[in-house]
Amino acid sequence: MNSFKTKKQILDFITHAILLVVAVTCIFPVFWMLSSSLKTQEEIFTKMTLLPEVWQWSNYVDAFIKAEFGMYFLNSIIYTVVGVSAIVLVTSMAAYGFARLEFWGKNFLFYLLISTLLIPIPGVFVPLYLLLKKLSLLDTRTGLLLCYISGALAFGLFLLRSFFEDLPKEIEEAALIDGCSRFGIYWRIALPLAKPAIATLVILQCLAIWNEFLLALVVLQDKAKMPIQRGLMVFQGTFITDYPLLMAGLTIATIPIVIVYLLMQKHIVKGIAAGALKG
Amino acid sequence: MNISPKEKTLNMMFIMPALVLFLVFNLYPLIRTFQLSFYQWNGIDKEMLFIGFAQYKHILFNNPAFWKSMINAGYVTLLSLTLQNGLALLLAILVNRQIRGGNIYRVIFFLPPVLSGIVVGLIWKFVYDGNFGILNHWLISLGFENFKDFAWLSEIKTSLSSVAIVHMWKGFGYGFIILLAGLQTIPIELYEAAEVDGADKWQQFRNITVPCMIPVFTLVTILTILGSMQIFDLIYSMTRGGPAGHTHVPITKIYEYMSNGEFGYSTAMAVIFGFVLLVISFVQLFVSKKFNR
């Protein structure tokens, strides 16, 4: 028994050693970004200390105002809030329809709408660009938002329809007899009950829109409309060696995502694992 | 219960917004991709010149840069499939041993996947920097003097591998989470029974873990292939395809042709690339089904 115990201890030690090394590797680049964002440019060029000598909080003031990261940040907030709200509204309504209501071509339409989950469509940004140009939506917030919303349709529908189907029908039927309209049932009964699934959708889409870059690159030219990911590349292209401000910008782009992640990590991890294993 | 045609029409209103968005922004662009791929068009002229499969032929037989970009993406994918997923599996097995602090590791390993590709790319570009990067600083302090001013991302020999390392750093946590979730669905009784029968750890791994995990392995493999082949943000933020095209991947090529106004050519490339991805995922599904039986 004694030797069994020591063998387990050795295994535990090796396990922790490996996990710890990987964990440090995950965190260090993020730490380095934070630390460098508080250094002076001279410090970055001449020293490699882990922490700044004097913490330059003014870098963040410069980043927000001079480097215009405040504007980009605000744009990202707008895209995320409006985009995710619209995604929830559009996909939950449709998912409820597919789960509960009868209409023509229901099954065909459902599989058509979620088909984009199964078929990889690389380079769809090319025809999207041309479409937005034709609709005079190129270089507009609306154009970019429409791309984001339609890009999330298949996933949202897939996630929410099965959730609505699993809800008990009895409450809805009782409400129908009491004279509640179909839309009223969806809005006042089904939607509140679907909160857990909607939470997963909201969190995953917040991450997706906040981090999106390629469509923002294709659709937008005007700096005033750019989300922060795009703004970072604009800044980096103009001020190549202003590392402290760049790192401050990167930190500004990262903090909201890390806060949401840490608060919601159980939802995110569960949502990803469940979504992946189901599919 | 009979539903009147009028009600059926009214019910359609629930799916209308989604349906309209789908038709305009998903289906139409898809059809348009195929259509445009047969035309030579700069996106401005009224006239589009129909040229059949000429652009396909040119991409497949006269465009070595396209093939180079496919090979580059394939290289990143191959590294991800082996190193990244191997690491993800090892870590999932270790965390699944019910050790203390398992949840903290899980939170940390999934941090890189939630960061944006641009942020990750720009942080690592700074780490790799020839003059001011901390990587060279460490290598020099370890005695590797010849790494002084070595620009990892601008050297032909190291640029693609350097990006691939970042891609794996960003991606392994994703596979880790899925693999761990898969491991946790294997009933513990199977291992207990094997223990009673005297099977050692390796036999348990080979005869219980691996067969139970084949559907999960398939899933992670497909996700890794699709994600790695379509790598873009990291390349764009770290090298933009340079030095001299040595880190170009299919999506950066498609974007480049589009930026040059070659809309027909870029869509033809998108169709070829999409077809390759589709074939890969079907082959993978087919192979794993055979394996499973």
Burial of A108 (0-12, 13-18, 19+ CB in 10 A): exposed
Assigned domain for B185 exists: yes
- Given a cut of 60, whether residue B1 has pLDDT beyond it is no
Burial of A274 (0-12, 13-18, 19+ CB in 10 A): middle
Assigned domain for B42 exists: no
The answer to whether the CB of A158 falls within 8 A of the CB of A278 is: no
- 3-state SS track over B258-272: HHCCCHHHHHHHHHH
Residue among B8, B120, B254 minimizing CB distance to A102: B8
The answer to whether the CB of A15 falls within 8 A of the CB of B97 is: yes
CATH code assigned at B192: 1.10.3720.10
The pLDDT of residue A275: 65
- Given a cut of 60, whether residue B213 has pLDDT beyond it is yes
Mean pLDDT for chain A? 91
- Tell if the CB–CB gap between A126 and B254 is shorter than 8 Å: yes
Kindly indicate the confidence band of residue B29, based on its pLDDT and cuts at 50, 70 and 90.
very high
- Given a cut of 80, whether residue B28 has pLDDT beyond it is yes
- Tell if the CB–CB gap between A18 and B127 is shorter than 8 Å: no
> Residue A77's closest CA among A262, A235, A227?
A227
Q: Closest residue of A to B10, CA-based?
A: A103
Percent of chain B exceeding pLDDT 90 equals 79
Q: What is the pTM of this model?
A: 0.94
Mean pLDDT for the stretch of residues B117-128: 97
CA-CA distance, A88 to B17, in Å (whole number)? 12
The CATH number of domain A62-278 is 1.10.3720.10: yes
Query: Which chain B residues contact residue A73 at CB under 8 A?
Result: none
Assigned domain for B20 exists: no
- Tell if the CB–CB gap between A233 and B237 is shorter than 8 Å: yes
- For residue A96, the number of C-alpha atoms closer than 13 Å in the C-beta half-sphere is 26
Whether B185 contacts chain A with CB within 8 A: yes
Assigned domain for B154 exists: yes
DSSP B8-48: HHHHHHHHHHHHHHHIIIIIHHHHHHHHHTTEE--SS-S--
- Tell if the CB–CB gap between B118 and A213 is shorter than 8 Å: yes
Mean pLDDT for the stretch of residues A12-38: 95
Whether A229 contacts chain B with CB within 8 A: yes
Whether A22 contacts chain B with CB within 8 A: yes
Mean pLDDT for the stretch of residues B140-160: 93
- Tell if the CB–CB gap between B109 and A22 is shorter than 8 Å: yes
pLDDT tens profile B49-88: 999 999 999 999 999 999 999 999 999 999 999 999 999 9
Query: Which chain A residues contact residue B12 at CB under 8 A?
Result: 97, 103-104
Whether A15 contacts chain B with CB within 8 A: yes
ipTM metric: 0.93
Query: Which chain A residues contact residue B121 at CB under 8 A?
Result: none
Whether B17 contacts chain A with CB within 8 A: yes
Element (H, E) at B50: strand B49-50
CA-CA distance, A80 to B140, in Å (whole number)? 43
Output the six-digit token pair for A51: 């922490």
pLDDT tens profile A149-183: 999 999 999 999 999 999 888 888 888 888 888 89
Kindly report the nearest CA distance between residue B31 and chain A, in angstroms: 9
Number of domains in chain B: 1
Whether B90 contacts chain A with CB within 8 A: yes
- Given a cut of 60, whether residue B293 has pLDDT beyond it is no
Assigned domain for B98 exists: yes
Domain coverage including residue B235: 55-292
CA-CA distance, A183 to B99, in Å (whole number)? 50
- Given a cut of 80, whether residue A118 has pLDDT beyond it is no
- For residue A274, the number of C-alpha atoms closer than 13 Å in the C-beta half-sphere is 16
Q: Closest residue of B to A12, CA-based?
A: B99
Q: Which of residues 231-260 of A touch B (CB under 8 A)?
A: 232-233, 236, 243, 246-247, 250, 253-254, 257-258
Assigned domain for B242 exists: yes
Kindly indicate the confidence band of residue A115, based on its pLDDT and cuts at 50, 70 and 90.
confident
DSSP A80-126: HHHHHHHHHHHHHHHHHHHHH---TTHHHHHHHHHGGGTS--TTTHH
Assigned domain for B7 exists: no
The pLDDT of residue B227: 94
| CA atoms A36, A41, A43, A46: torsion sign | positive
Assigned domain for B41 exists: no
